[in-house]
């Protein structure tokens, strides 16, 4: 295999959670362009199917599946459905996540529980359900979407539950990587910085001094810029990597 061939995902089936918009939608397209068949999930059937139809229109084999990642029973059902109808899952990308702003004193317990249920429990439930099947087949790859927020405190929008959840995702990545390596399962994570999405409107002037100016590259990222990293971690190009956190933040965390 030459170097470029190691980036091909031809013949691979990917399950990507939270794939209907933003970073998830961009990564789903990139993985499909690399040759993978991509199953995308969203909280509603309509959103998942719309994303799958868009990918199909681009010549990508795609499948849409409703999934609430914080519901362990729904996770098991979705993984079983995708595996049965779309093929055994070779790559899992845990992208589904939410962020709710608010000062710590003002954050309701319900927000704390909802964010951790989606961002941490969801990664755990999906990883466990898929990895059990991967282990039976001799291996696979998991890519978790963490955040540079696991290592910094975002301003001006306080969001203690989000920071905590992403720090947990990073260490969950390391722990599972160590435990599942003997099963042939690699687990890595991407830690994005400030990317322009509906969830993160960093193009607005009030965010410039906090989210753009401090970064050495003096700009925010665009969703398509995350896709190549997902391809790298999903396939053979990263065959000797596990437990790594790949930070993509325009240099924000350097200073």
DSSP per-residue codes, 224-244: GGGHHHHHHHHSGGGTT--S-
- Using alpha carbons, select from 224, 198, 163 the residue that is nearest to residue 47: 198
In terms of Cβ atoms closer than 10 Å to its own Cβ (0-12, 13-18, 19+), residue 182 is exposed
Whether the Cβ atoms of residue 62 and residue 231 lie closer than 8 Å to each other:
no
d(CA 93, CA 187): 10
Closest by CA to 150, choosing from 128, 119, 121, 179, is 119
Q: How far apart are CA 91 and CA 81, in angstroms?
A: 16
- Three-state SS for 201? coil
Q: Which of 125, 162, 194, 220 is catalytic?
A: 162
* Residue 194 designated active-site: no
User: Annotated active-site positions, please?
Assistant: 162
């Amino acid at each position: 295999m030459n170097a470029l061939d190691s980036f091909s995902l031809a013949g691979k089936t990917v399950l990507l959670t939270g794939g209907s918009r933003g970073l998830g939608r961009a990564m789903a397209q990139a993985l499909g362009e690399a040759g993978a068949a991509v199953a995308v999930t969203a909280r509603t059937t309509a959103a998942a199917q719309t994303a799958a139809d868009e990918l199909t229109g681009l010549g990508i084999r795609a499948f849409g599946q409703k999934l609430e990642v914080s519901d362990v029973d729904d996770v098991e059902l979705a993984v079983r459905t995708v595996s049965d109808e779309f093929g055994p899952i070779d790559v899992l990308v845990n992208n589904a996540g939410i962020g709710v702003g608010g000062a710590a004193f003002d954050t309701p317990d319900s927000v704390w529980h909802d964010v951790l249920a989606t961002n941490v429990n969801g990664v755990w439930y999906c990883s466990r359900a898929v990895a059990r099947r991967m282990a039976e087949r001799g291996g696979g790859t998991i890519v978790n979407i963490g955040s540079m927020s696991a290592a910094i405190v975002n301003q001006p929008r306080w969001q203690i539950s989000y920071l905590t959840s992403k720090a947990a995702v990073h260490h969950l990545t390391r722990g599972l990587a160590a435990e599942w390596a003997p099963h042939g399962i690699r687990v890595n994570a991407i830690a994005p910085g400030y990317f322009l999405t509906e969830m993160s409107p960093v193009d607005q002037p009030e965010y410039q001094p906090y989210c753009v100016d401090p970064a050495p590259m003096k700009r925010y990222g665009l969703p398509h810029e995350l896709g190549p990293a997902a391809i790298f971690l999903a396939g053979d190009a990263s065959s000797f990597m596990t437990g790594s956190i790949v930070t993509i933040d325009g240099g924000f965390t350097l200073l």
